[in-house]
Structure 1
């Protein structure tokens, strides 16, 4: 069994390229069906897609990295050569190490952030529901979750971590003298927006409004913070009301365009606007950044802010890597054992065949009225002869070297004494 993975993340690919390969959770199932149908031998497969990464994990009879990459390039509408220049491809032990590091938050833009573990679990659940998750990948991910749990409980990898949401508030505080004096608009109602709203709410802004396609979900989130709910369709006409805008949706196209922001600035008499686009693909058109009265930050722009606490956690990283090393060795040992499974199955099938044949013969003899002890003796002798026949034949066949090898093997398997 071969295991492989390929992906792009915040360190290998620009934001707009990552946006081409972003899959919403409800797209994972159909996408996995497309991937498995495109490969010569459909493998086990799972896709992890977040704002910072898209990764494909596969397991099959043999490595198929090139066709997997070709399929991914086609799905994103780019050439395989372009995608390859931004992609990392991993095999076997490398896959396990990478998955364990991702689950533990060591490969995140925010070192030690916990959200990725939940996102991985969602991805695994989606793969399982799509019928794409087999024994090997299930083992890989379950071990990833176990390693991540040990890393978080045994080290301080998550201590003093600065999240994207917290970084957004920090940047807003640099622009506005008093955050309790601003009006904040949140576009979307997912986990990232919930985190951002939590951090902003701690600063007691003048007003908080949630704009979401689903009003029910928006109202549920708004009720937690005493916020107002707004229809997404009303966003262009009300954009000028807000000093800060934080957006993170699963939309495949920008929701806030250059024209809408220009009109909002005019109505605001060019009072500055703080905007954070945490979505991949983008929710806010990139041209907005060129406007003189707008301070727009993307997930990549926040990288410098969230890295500031990393130096203090390098000792924790070293401790985490030791835990991950042990996890990788354990997974590779399990993989080696898995290679013996077909032979074990054949041995069990052969033993079942011998046993059934001897039992059937014993039953016939008993039905004829033969002595029970004699029948049992014959059945035991028959089983023993069948088990030893191949070994005895090897001792009487071949050249001297072959007999010597057979002798060593037979002594090892049949004549071992309990220690």
Structure 2
């Protein structure tokens, strides 16, 4: 059994592949239970964001986990496997620390991933899949991320996805203040986008959400209005800018819906940003002449601005991570000796109880107490030393390594005398 992390991200796979293996929060619990039933996995956590889906686990084989994921998502394993990476042991720990610190993100140093990792840990705990090792791994990841952000410049001059969406919109429309903006969804990403767009004081802001109360709660913060998601078909043509990020498994804005909206708008351009994985807006919508459709991958070039000032901080961040990786591995190695220590103590306890029972029986028969104690000490000493003495006597080949280990374990001098 070993510690693994395996997954897929924006560097290894296009959006069309990533969206096929994405997990939404409401299905993570079920997926973790199914994983535990289908493969020899002892601990597991699933991290799924717009840019990555990763499984952190204690397992016998990462291939079994990959096989499970392909089967669970009904993907041919041969087609999916080239897009996946696998990290084991030290590399898995380093990867987790880099992810938490924002070093593996599309937007270098972005802070949202830390909250997403905390969510992954919470889901794993609720599913009963979070054991001691993964709990320690995640907690250390959070501590490393905090250290990196507080001691390096990795988080400075960040252009977030939300800010990038505003910059792209400004390329299409001369003034956002003259446009009507529709946000579809009410999650964290929509919240961030609404904050950035609201700062440009658009003519109108509307939030469409499946749950009207949650949509209204977000809308109230920006003096906006809320509508139900089912009203989208009637209202879409009103908006110049549409930003969508929901947890829907299927697209909620189809080609036909947008075509009707464009005709109603008399072919005035519409700017659309789809931040959802899987996508909320059908791919074919981007082929329409009057629609400018962008996905999370399309925003990559915009978020590159400001990268140079953060790149120099990567070296310092990597040094912090490397030191903490070694600390975690030291803890992990200590954990691996626990079963051996427990077995050794159990064996010694059985010997002690056996000899104590023998001594008590002798005392009960009236034997001399001093002789019984002397006999007890000799019998215990012989039993405790029998196994190491036998190992030294029967050792084949070079005994120097075993002798050195016994000398160290029993604090002996090189000449065989006790160190005490």
Post-superposition offset of 1:369: 6.9
In 1: Cα distance, 2:360 partner to 2:239 partner: 88
Residues 1:339 and 2:336 are matched in the alignment: yes
User: For the Cα contact (< 8 Å) 1:32–1:130, is it kept in 2?
Assistant: yes
Greater CA drift, 149-158 or 337-346? 337-346
Distance 1:252 1:407, change over 3 A: closer
Post-superposition offset of 1:298: 0.5
Post-superposition offset of 1:71: 2.1
Residues 1:158 and 2:155 are matched in the alignment: yes
Q: Report the counterpart of residue 37 of structure 1 in structure 2.
A: 37
- Counting only pairs closer than 5 Å after superposition, residues 271-286 of structure 1 correspond to structure 2 as 271-286=268-283
Q: Secondary structure at the match of 2:41?
A: coil
Post-superposition offset of 1:382: 4.1
Greater CA drift, 22-31 or 69-78? 69-78
Q: Report the counterpart of residue 22 of structure 2 in structure 1.
A: 22
1:87 to 78, 84, 89: 84
In 1: Cα distance, 2:351 partner to 2:247 partner: 60
Q: Report the counterpart of residue 45 of structure 2 in structure 1.
A: 46
Post-superposition offset of 1:18: 0.9
1:125 to 118, 122, 125: 122
In 2: Cα distance, 1:118 partner to 1:296 partner: 28
TM-score by length of 1: 0.92
- Counting only pairs closer than 5 Å after superposition, residues 186-225 of structure 1 correspond to structure 2 as 186-225=183-222
User: For the Cα contact (< 8 Å) 1:394–1:403, is it kept in 2?
Assistant: no
Greater CA drift, 41-50 or 100-109? 41-50
Q: Which runs of 5+ in 2 are unaligned?
A: 413-417
In 2: Cα distance, 1:200 partner to 1:312 partner: 25
Q: CA RMSD in A?
A: 2.3
In 2: Cα distance, 1:90 partner to 1:413 partner: 35
Post-superposition offset of 1:252: 0.7
User: For the Cα contact (< 8 Å) 1:21–1:54, is it kept in 2?
Assistant: yes
1:414 to 405, 410, 414: 410
Q: Report the counterpart of residue 2 of structure 2 in structure 1.
A: 2
TM-score by length of 2: 0.92
Q: Report the counterpart of residue 231 of structure 1 in structure 2.
A: 228
In 1: Cα distance, 2:167 partner to 2:198 partner: 13
Greater CA drift, 156-165 or 326-335? 326-335
Greater CA drift, 214-223 or 154-163? 214-223
Query: Which whole-Å deviations, capped at 9, do the CAs of 1:21-70 have from their partners, x for residues lacking one?
Result: 1111111111112222222x23322111111111122212x3x2223222
Distance 1:410 1:53, change over 3 A: closer
Distance 1:393 1:83, change over 3 A: closer
User: For the Cα contact (< 8 Å) 2:41–2:57, is it kept in 1?
Assistant: no
Q: Secondary structure at the match of 1:186?
A: strand
Greater CA drift, 117-126 or 330-339? 330-339
In 2: Cα distance, 1:145 partner to 1:176 partner: 40
User: For the Cα contact (< 8 Å) 1:157–1:313, is it kept in 2?
Assistant: yes
In 2: Cα distance, 1:238 partner to 1:309 partner: 37
In 2: Cα distance, 1:244 partner to 1:24 partner: 26
- Counting only pairs closer than 5 Å after superposition, residues 234-253 of structure 1 correspond to structure 2 as 234-253=231-250
In 1: Cα distance, 2:396 partner to 2:96 partner: 50
